[in-house]
Structure 1
């Protein structure tokens, strides 16, 4: 229930016909049902403090943006992925109502990711390695860039270590209910 469901399934019709079977909204519903089942399973195994993380700007990944013609992002992809993200807060609220011995919170990763992009201190449209056009992964045996901290993405999909550190700090220190709710990380840890 994440980026790979969109990148490797919904937006890969040659390999997987799922986009021909589901509208974007119905596909988001399908993923939400699967996520709900898996979150309940985690609860049955004893998990009691769970952060449900929304998807970042999938359409901003260099490979996806190139494939769908977006500069710097594919707004079509981002708006369709947002349909999934919009269903996460109601899911978290329902789980908190039904499973009262647990605490679920939603982290709006799109908001966190957009903050990273707005900082503008990193190259957000290219990748640190030379990408294979067909797969978006790094060309084997080519040396990646030496200045990895200056790139948001390592390859066509995955953030660099420095981006992940920034994203983690932004997420952990978030206080706004538009970014994390109903509990901040600090509140969740204190419960």
Structure 2
């Protein structure tokens, strides 16, 4: 069975995501996203690190980070969609970006992820979503050889890229959630 091809907008989104998160993988981004969405053995091959068959996505032990990023995006989908939805107005977008930068600075200073705060303040919802997204993506990236501080930086780059391309993000998450 031949996998369905990505739409032009999803191809552009995948390249944009890779260029902003893992530039070395941007040339392969549409192929990697397409294989991830196809599911089954194609998705499994993206995560193989040993004894990769010739012609697979991991020839000679080459390991891609983007499939782990996609797994993190899929796992964090409800929080990402909440964040993209809460960033609909310009004020929320600016606040969210400032909060991302603030959280990144605090995380960098303490070398631990920020702890969630309790409360019903609607302004805290984007912050909660950001924290959950970072935590979930970091968990997925632990399966790679990336050092802790680089995983943290990548998580924030992912959030920024997802917010900068909200339409592509929503389409991509829909396709990822619909994959097998």
Tell me, yes or no, whether TM beats 0.5: no
Higher helix share: 2
Larger CA Rg, structure 1 vs 2: 1
TM, length-normalised to structure 2: 0.29
Higher strand share: 1
TM, length-normalised to structure 1: 0.28
Report which structure shows greater RCO (CA 8 Å, sep ≥6): 2
